[in-house]
Amino acid sequence: MGGGTPVFEANRLGFGVVATDVNPMAYWVVRQSLSPLDISAFVATAEKVASHVEVTIGKFYQTECVRCGSLAPIKYFLWVKTEKCSGCGTDVDLFPGYLLAEAVRHPKHVVACASCGNLNELKTQPTLSKPAKCTGCGNNLHVEGPARKQFVSCPKCSTRIRFINGERRTAPPEHRMWAIEYHCPTCRPKHIGRFFKKPDHKDLSLFSEASDLLSRTQRLPIPEDPIPKGDETDRLHRWGYRCYRDMFNQRQLLGLGVLLRTIQRVSNTEIRYALLTVFSDFMRYQNMLCRYDTYALKCQDVFSVHGFPVGLVQCENSILGIPRIGSGAFRHFVEKYRRAKEYCEKPFETQHNRTVVSIPGERICAEFVDTLTEAGERQAMLSAAPATQILLRPNSLDGVFTDPPYFANVQYAELMDFCYVWLRKGLSENWPAFRAESTRSKWELTGNVTLGRDLANFTEGLSQIFQHYSAALKTDAPFVFTYHHNDPEAYIPVVVAILDACLDCSATLPAVAEMSASIHILGTGSSVLDTVFVCRHTLKQKQGKDIEGLLSKDAEMMRCASVRLTRGDLRCLLAGHLARLTINSLRSNWDSALPIAAKMAAARQAVMQIQRDYRNESLITKLLEPGASARKPEKTVLAATV
C-alpha cells in the first residue's frame, strides 16, 4: 500500500481493492482514508479535546508582547544545543550560525548576539569581516557561528570540544532557549512582519513549571520504548538518544501526554481513531529534532529529509496552535484532516490555471471486507501483513498497481517507529497489528546494513511478491509499478522480479514524483521523476528499441509540463528504458528455477551489455538543455545538521 495512492484512485473509480503492507502505519493511514466519518462531529469533538487540554497546558504557550505588554500566544520556541566545556565547566552554545530570520518574509534580517543574546534587526547580514554592533551590549554581531564539523571552542578558555561522542554519550546534549516567535493580536493591525523576542525570566520560569508539572502528573501515555539499532537510528545513538522520549523536551512530553490521554477518552470510536491519526501525523512537528526554516519562518518536519538529521538549533512548536496562524500544531492538523475527508466525499482535480474541476459521482470511501465479492464495487480488503500471505484466486484481479521500495533509499520502519510507539498507546488494545514493539519486520523489503539485508534479499523478496500477484491477474490485465533510481544496478531486482513473474514489459513511461524543492533532494541533482513500468503476460504492442527517440520524447513531454530536466532525471528515465529492453531480451530463455545469485548475474550481464550499446552519458549530454546540469533550487536556509 505505501501511502495508498493506487488504492484511493482505484476506489475513486469504483473498483474493489486488495491492499496490504507489512508496516502497520501504512495500513492504518489507508484504512483511515477510506473510512467514513461524520466530519462536523469530528471537528466539534476535536475542538472540545483542544479546549480541555488548553486548561492544563495553555499558559505554557503564552508570553508578554515586547511592544504592548499584553499576553500573546507563542508559535515557536527556538533552542540551541549546549555542551559543557571540559576545561572550565562553561555551558557552550553550539550555534552553527546566529541568523534567526532572513529579510524576505520579515522586513529585516534578525540576528542573535553571541555575547548577550539580544535579537537585532538589520538591513544587511553582518559577517565576521563586516560586523555590526549589538543594540543590547555594543559587541560585534555576525551571522557565522562557532560550531563547525563536530567541534566548538569554549569562548572562555578556548578549549576545543567535540560535541558528538558516539557510544561515550549516554544522553542527548542539553538545550538553551534563545528565541521565541509569537503572535500578538493587539499589535498585529499596525505591525509589519513577525514578532520575535529573546526569552525573559517569565518564559524560562514557565518551562520549569511545565517540567515540574510533568513530574507530578501520573499515568500519562508516554512511550518508554528504547530506540533499536539501525541504519538511520544509529545517528540518534551517536548523539545520545537512547529512548524515543529522549527526542522531546519536558514541556512537549507534558502536552503530548495530556493530549493523547484526552483523545483516548473520546467515546465515539471512529472519531477517536480519526483524532489518533491526527495525533500520529502532527508528531512530525512536535519533537526536538525539528528545525526552524530561516527563509520560510516556520517549523520543519522531522522527516523532511527521509531520515533523522540531528540539528544544532531546534524548533519547539506550539502543541495546540493558533487557528490560521503558524503550522504543525494539533489544530492545524485537525483542519488538514477535515479538508482531506471533505475531498474524499467530493474529489476534484485542479487545472494548470488553478481552476478546480469537480468530478460528479466519484468519492473515496470503502466497505471493509475480509473477502472481495465478484462485483467488488468500493469494497476494500486491507491487511497489515506481508503481501505474499494474502489469498488470491487465479484470474481475479483486473490489474495490479503498486509502488515498491527503491531498495535502500528510505528506511521506512526505522522512521515510522517514531510515530508508531505513540499511536500504539491508543490502538494496541483493539488492533493486533499494533501490539508488536516495532514496525520492523523480517518481511520488510529494504536494503539495510544493520540487518544484513543486501540486494539479493531485496531481489528475492520482490520476485516472490510479483509472482504471487501476477498469478492472480486476468488475461491481458496490466501489472504496473513505479521505480526510481539513477544507478542501473538498482534495476536488477526489477528485471528478475518481472521475469520470474512471467511478465513482459510493454512500456516505461515518465512521471513526476517529487517536488524540486523537497528538502531531501534540494540542490543534489537527484531526479524528481519516476519510471512507470507497464507489464503484461502477453504483449500485443510494445515500445521499440529506439532509445534515443523514446528518451527524446520523454524529455519533450516533461518540458511541456514545465519540468526542467537534469542529468539525474535523464539517467533515471534511461535506466528505465534499459531495464525494459533487458526484460524483453531475456524473456524467451529465462529460468525462474535458478538460484537467485545466478538470476541476478544474468540480469546484470544483460543490463551492462545493453548499457554499453547505448553509450549512456553521451546520449544524456545530447538531450540535456544547455545550463541544465543541475536543477536550480528554491532558496532555503536551514540550521546546520550533523
Distance CA 55, CA 50 (A): 9
Q: What is the pLDDT, as a whole number, of residue 376?
A: 62
Distance CA 291, CA 301 (A): 8
Kindly tell me if the per-residue pLDDT of 403 is higher than 90.
no
Q: What is the pLDDT, as a whole number, of residue 517?
A: 45
Q: What is the pLDDT, as a whole number, of residue 318?
A: 97
pTM of the model: 0.89
260 near 426, Cβ under 8 Å?
yes
Angle at which helix 330-345 crosses helix 39-57, to 10 degrees, equals 180
Domain map of the chain by residue range?
454-642
Q: Provide the pLDDT confidence category of residue 375 given band limits of 50, 70 and 90.
A: low
Grid cell 521499440 is found at: 544
User: Side by side, which strands form the sheet with 367-368?
Assistant: 17-20, 379-383, 367-368
Sequence letter at residue 373: T
Kindly tell me if the per-residue pLDDT of 630 is higher than 80.
no
Kindly tell me if the per-residue pLDDT of 521 is higher than 50.
no
Per-residue pLDDT reduced to its tens digit, 105-152: 999 999 999 999 999 999 999 999 999 999 999 999 999 999 998 899
Q: What is the pLDDT, as a whole number, of residue 520?
A: 40
Per-residue pLDDT reduced to its tens digit, 544-575: 788 888 989 998 888 888 888 888 888 888 88
100 near 119, Cβ under 8 Å?
yes
Cell numbers describing residue 23: 508496516
Share of the chain above pLDDT 90, in %: 68
Kindly tell me if the per-residue pLDDT of 250 is higher than 80.
yes
Kindly tell me if the per-residue pLDDT of 636 is higher than 60.
no
| Helix or strand (DSSP H, E) at 456 | helix 455-470
Which position has the higher pLDDT, 375 or 459?
459
- Give the mean pLDDT of 482-503: 88
Count Cα neighbours of 238 within 13 Å in the Cβ-side half-sphere: 15
- Give the mean pLDDT of 502-525: 69
DSSP string covering 76-121: EEEEEEEEE-TTT--EEE--SB-EEE-SSSSSSEEEE-TTT--EEE
- Give the mean pLDDT of 297-319: 91
Q: Provide the pLDDT confidence category of residue 166 given band limits of 50, 70 and 90.
A: low
Kindly tell me if the per-residue pLDDT of 89 is higher than 80.
yes
Per-residue pLDDT reduced to its tens digit, 424-434: 999 999 999 99
Q: What is the pLDDT, as a whole number, of residue 491?
A: 87
Kindly tell me if the per-residue pLDDT of 518 is higher than 50.
no
Distance CA 574, CA 491 (A): 11
Q: What is the pLDDT, as a whole number, of residue 515?
A: 55
308 near 237, Cβ under 8 Å?
no
* Number of Cβ atoms within 10 Å of the Cβ of 368: 11
Lowest mean pLDDT across 245-259, 261-275, 394-408: 394-408
Helix, strand, coil in percent for the chain, rounding step 5? 35, 20, 45
Per-residue pLDDT reduced to its tens digit, 569-615: 888 888 889 899 999 899 999 999 999 999 999 999 998 888 777 66
pLDDT, mean over the chain: 89
| Helix or strand (DSSP H, E) at 507 | strand 504-512
